[in-house]
Structure formats: structure tokens, C-alpha cells
Structure 1
Amino acid sequence: MKLPGIVLLMVFTVNQLYAQQKPSDEELKRANDPMANVKAFNIQDYIVSKLYGLPDRQINQLLVRYSQPIGPVLLRATMPFVTSSGEGEGPVSGLGDFNLFAIYTLPSSNGNKFGVGPNITIPTGTHDLGAGKWQTGLSVLAFFAQSKIVQAGSLLQWSVSFAGDDDRPDVSVLTPQVFFIWQIGAGFCIRSTGVMTFNLKTGDYNVPIGLGVGKVLKAGGVVFNLFAEPQFTVLAEGIGQPRYQTFVGFNTQF
């Protein structure tokens, strides 16, 4: 069974088990808030089925993420598990590069959130599935959640390499993400959360637009957010940029 089908089955199963528990408006907003002041464990997957210039190559990037608030600072750690396959070669699987950022949430009284903080990427990639470089940079995050119907925001990250494998190219990457959430009722939402990538060293770039559906469920004190979001590239430059991908996830907030 494909991963999007598994996600839909999980939505149906959990919904049937916990249909009597309705998330509040605040819990619906918090489920999609990247700066929510709660512990979170997320499993997310990018299924890249078509790439520019590499028609026979496919990539699967499974992200295991954990977020932990410490006062006004939110720590988020991400470990990727990557599988790459192409014509004439078997699939190669291994670790990607481990990423950690710390976002300091600025004081605000109107329900909107703004944050800024450093990030670091550790070259844990195996089989050349990572960049092979130590990287550091800056993360800037905004989340607008005054409305209980529509939430929007943006996460901007910049990373530059400062050490690592001398045989690998240096890194300077800008990754803006704009996310839009439209609550349509019964815990369902329409969502768009594509991540743009701009390689400041080579001039390559990728601009995807996503359109998917999510479902927020509650079981006891735990809030689940399940989603599937196809993403189509509208602007791209460079060999190996994703042309079409599907983003699916199972997020858990405690």
C-alpha cells in the first residue's frame, strides 16, 4: 500500500476510535502551529516521484522530528532517512544530515507569533545522501492565528557550510516555506506548505506549490494531525530538482 493510502487508513481508523472527542478551535490552530508551546513527535515523508533531468530517479525522504519547548525557546530536531533509486541501479538507503534549530518566540499579545534563532546541520549522511558539510545559519518564523478559520505563516531558514569533507561542494542554501491552513470543519483543513529551495552557490532553485487535506483528531490529552499534500513545482532550475512530490505526515502533540 502506498504511503498516502496508509495515511488515509490511519485517519479513518483513529477517527472511528475517537470520534466522540472534538478538538477545540485552539487545538485545531495549535495542531498546525510550528511554534506551539507543546512537546511534539512527528513522522513526515516526502515522496519525490519525478525529478528534472533525471526521469528514472525517485527519492523518498522520511523525516523523524521531535520538538521540545524550554520557556520561550522551541527546540526542533530532525533526522532524515533517505532512499534514492534510479535506472540501472538498486535503491540506496541511509541517513541524511541531522538538523537542529532553536527558535526564540518574541513576546506578542495579539495571538500572532514571531520567532528567530540559530540552526545547525550535522553531516550524519551515509552513502553520500547528505551534504557532507557542517552547516550553521539562521531561522525566522512567523505564524498568524488570530482567525479560527484561516491560519498562515512562514519559516525562513538559511544555512552555510563552515567545515566538513573537502571533496564535497560548499553549501549556502535558503529555504523559505509559506504555509496556509483553511479550517473547513469537523477537524478537516485544506493546506499548502511547500518548501522553496534556493542554492546560493550554484543558482539552482525549486519553487513548489502544495494543495492537500489534513485531519486533526484528539485522544485524551493527545492531538493528532494527519495529512497528505501533493506538491507541484512551478519554477525550477538545475538537474535533480523535484518536479512532483507528495508530502504526507502523522504529527502528534502532547
Structure 2
Amino acid sequence: MKNLFVIVLLLISSLSFAQTAEEKAQANNPLASITAFNLQQYYSSNLSGNSEATQSSYWMRFAKPTGRVLWRASLPINTYSNPELGVSRSGLGDFDLFGAYLAVSKPTLSVGIGPSLSAPTATHSSLGTGKWTAGAAAVAFASVSPQFQMGGLVIWRTDVGGDANRNDVNFMAIQPFAFWQVSNGMYFRTAPTWNFNLEKGEYNVPVGFGIGKIVKVGSTVCNFFIEPQYSVLHYGDNQAIFQLYSALNMQF
């Protein structure tokens, strides 16, 4: 299962379907005013503090525009394995919701800002925070040209309720991204997520470079990609040193 998206990308890499320049430019836009469903995975084979441990997160993500607000709901399936300790757990993680008000919505620039919430839906204590969290998020996407797009996402949240025996939550995530369209729907990409645990002072700053393919099947724009990422700065246990980020994103 961990190589599912790799296999899919290889199978479709030679295919070419008609897409417009706008569809290719908007396929990676997190603020595209289009109903979308994404299947994304982060798989790490090397964690700080224990080189034998591995972790994986499959994200199911649904986005739906309502007027000038784009709603994005996400639910992960998390797996953590530590052979040294004889630990292996898999189950649902915490449910995530982001409501982005489109303060700017132009063909070449989109800017969204709004509340970011999460609910403690994890099926095991090690797979979630055990807390209700709330905060804010902001995202910007610029289509500099039909060939080049760039932008960034910033999320901050803190706990507002939940299990009093669990650790407090205060974290920030920053995701810069850039995409370079090549030809026939193929493109290069970088979209690492920098995580900062402000409560514990832990952090992880990876860099990444990957490749993707955009194809249109009927009226659905499908975006397949794979991006290896390596941590250049990290502090704290169970930080992903090397991880593979892959996905199938669909816009309807």
C-alpha cells in the first residue's frame, strides 16, 4: 500500500489527455473554486530518535466552494510502527476543517483566510492529540504565468478543550509551494510542510522536489504526483527525516 501512488503515477505517466492551460495552472491551486476530492499520503521510513520506526498518513480531503467561502474537510488514517518497542498502531487521526474566505479571487491571484479547527476523532491516543483545537489559516496562490505557479499556506492552532490529561497543543505549519509546467500535463513541484510544535519547542523543516502529471478524464481533472522530501532542520523525537509525499487530486 505504501507504494500505491508511485505505481499509479508510473501507469499514467505516458498518457496524455487534452487540458487547457488554465486547468493545468489551477490543478494545484488549493483555493480553486471547484469541488475537489484528494487522496494524499505521507510515508516516512526514517524517524528521529528511532531509525527503525516508520509512520504513514493517508489523508482523505474534500473541498467545496459556497459563495466566496471554500470549505476543506480532511480526515487521516495514521499508522505508526516501532519494531524496537514492539509497537504497531493504525487507525483514524483527528478530523480537520478549514473555511477560507476568498478575499482575493482573480485568475492570476487567489488569497484566502479563515478559521481552522480540528476534532479529537483519533481511534488511539498515539494517533491524535486528544484535544479540540482552533486557530486560523491563510493561503495564497499566484499564477505567475501558464508555466509557473507559486504560493504558500500558514496554519496556527491551539487547544480549546478535550482531555485534560493530554499535552497542550500550540502549533504552526508553513507550506511554501511552487509548480513548473513542462509539457503534456507533466510538471515539476516542491511543496514541503514545515511543522513547529510551539508548546514543546520541536520542529521539522524539510525540503522537497517532485514530479507530477495532470490528465483530464471526461470532465474530471486528475493530478498525480510524487515528491521525496528530506529534513534539513529538525528537533524532537519521531520527526520525519525522509518521507515520500504522493497523491491523487481530483477536481470535478
TM-score range, shorter chain: over 0.9
* Deviation of 1:90 (Å): 4.5
SS of 1:11 mapped into structure 2: helix
* Deviation of 1:110 (Å): 6.2
Correspondence for 1:42 among 34, 38, 42 = 38
Whether contact under 8 Å (1:110, 1:146) holds in the other structure is no
Matching residue of 1:121: 118
* Deviation of 1:249 (Å): 0.3
Moved more, 134-143 or 49-58: 49-58
Structure 2: how far apart are the matches of 1:169 and 1:240? Answer: 16
Structure 1: how far apart are the matches of 2:73 and 2:105? Answer: 25
Matching residue of 1:99: 96
Whether contact under 8 Å (2:104, 2:112) holds in the other structure is no
Whether contact under 8 Å (1:15, 1:217) holds in the other structure is no
- Residues 40 and 108 (structure 1), Cα distance of their counterparts in 2 relative to 1, 3 Å cut: closer
Matching residue of 1:85: 81
- Residues 252 and 49 (structure 1), Cα distance of their counterparts in 2 relative to 1, 3 Å cut: same
- Code of the residue aligned with 1:99 in structure 2: it is D
Matching residue of 1:215: 213
SS of 1:159 mapped into structure 2: strand
Whether contact under 8 Å (2:215, 2:221) holds in the other structure is yes
Structure 2: how far apart are the matches of 1:220 and 1:198? Answer: 41
2:97 counterpart of 1:112: no
Matching residue of 1:147: 145
Structure 2: how far apart are the matches of 1:156 and 1:144? Answer: 15
Deviation per CA, 1:77-124: give whole Å up to 9, x if none. 000001110124252111100000000111355621111000110000
* Deviation of 1:14 (Å): 4.5
Aligned residues: 250
RMSD: 1.5
5+ residue gaps, structure 1, are none
SS of 2:215 mapped into structure 1: strand
- Code of the residue aligned with 1:69 in structure 2: it is P
Structure 2: how far apart are the matches of 1:36 and 1:110? Answer: 10
2:57 counterpart of 1:73: no
Structure 2: how far apart are the matches of 1:110 and 1:223? Answer: 18
2:176 counterpart of 1:168: no
Structure-2-length-normalised TM-score: 0.95
SS of 1:53 mapped into structure 2: coil
Moved more, 83-92 or 139-148: 83-92
Whether contact under 8 Å (2:71, 2:100) holds in the other structure is yes
- Residues 49 and 12 (structure 1), Cα distance of their counterparts in 2 relative to 1, 3 Å cut: closer
2:28 counterpart of 1:32: yes
Structure 1: how far apart are the matches of 2:240 and 2:171? Answer: 16
Structure 2: how far apart are the matches of 1:108 and 1:139? Answer: 17
SS of 1:194 mapped into structure 2: coil
Whether contact under 8 Å (1:45, 1:62) holds in the other structure is yes
Structure 1: how far apart are the matches of 2:51 and 2:98? Answer: 34
Whether contact under 8 Å (1:174, 1:198) holds in the other structure is yes
* Deviation of 1:146 (Å): 3.1
- Code of the residue aligned with 2:143 in structure 1: it is A
Structure 2: how far apart are the matches of 1:118 and 1:206? Answer: 24
* Deviation of 1:223 (Å): 0.3
Structure 2: how far apart are the matches of 1:110 and 1:30? Answer: 9
Deviation per CA, 1:16-59: give whole Å up to 9, x if none. 6x63x321110001110000010101000000111111211100
Structure 1: how far apart are the matches of 2:123 and 2:106? Answer: 45
Structure-1-length-normalised TM-score: 0.94
